[in-house]
């Protein structure tokens, strides 16, 4: 492999399983554990009046701060898990829409492989299914979808 594995981690058991499987398949490999902080305005699209209220009151800013802290913690936890699985891992947190952010991170770090957990087994299966499907269809990098065992 020329570039690191990009391990997408959202804190779910399916994502943790994907990290463990990547460790089995690619022991000792370099890995970047990515967690995406989705801006509140993207995560909770509101009507125009509600959106204005969200911005004026600072609710979006507060939600963005909490989301960023959660993503940072998830990336660190995922990197620790990857290390336990035998990978040389470092955490990475980015902000944005999940599919675009994952693809951009893969390009930026020169990833050889994007690893995602099976969306059908995650806690947010509907949303995650759209994310992993979007990554699979738009990626210029190979994608490994790992089912929950």
Tens digits of per-residue pLDDT, 66-80?
889 999 999 999 999
Closest residue by Cα to residue 82 from 29, 141, 12: 29
Tens digits of per-residue pLDDT, 11-66?
999 899 999 999 999 999 999 999 999 887 776 665 544 566 556 666 777 888 88
Tens digits of per-residue pLDDT, 110-140?
999 999 988 664 444 444 467 888 999 999 9
Contact 38, 65 (CB under 8 A): no
Tell me how many domains the chain contains: 1
Token pair belonging to 25: 């398949």
Identify the CATH number of the domain in which residue 34 sits.
Answer: 3.40.50.620
Segments forming the whole domain that contains residue 19: 5-146
Token pair belonging to 21: 């499987």
User: What pLDDT is attached to residue 76?
Assistant: 98
Give the integer Cα–Cα distance in Å for 77 and 69.
Answer: 12
């Amino acid at each position: 492999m020329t570039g690191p594995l990009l391990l997408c981690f959202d804190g779910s058991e399916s994502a943790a399983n994907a990290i463990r499987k990547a460790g089995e398949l690619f022991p000792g490999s370099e890995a970047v554990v990515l967690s995406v902080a989705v801006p509140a305005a993207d995560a909770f699209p509101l009507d125009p009046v509600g959106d204005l209220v969200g911005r004026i009151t600072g609710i979006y800013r507060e939600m963005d701060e909490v989301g960023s802290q959660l993503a940072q913690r998830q990336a660190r936890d995922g990197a620790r898990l990857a290390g336990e699985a035998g990978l040389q891992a470092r955490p990475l947190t980015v902000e944005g829409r999940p599919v675009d952010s994952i693809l951009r991170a893969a390009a930026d770090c020169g990833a050889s492989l994007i690893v995602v957990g099976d969306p059908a087994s995650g806690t947010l299966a509907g949303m995650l299914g759209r994310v992993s499907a979007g990554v699979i269809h738009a990626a210029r990098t190979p994608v490994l979808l790992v089912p929950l065992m």
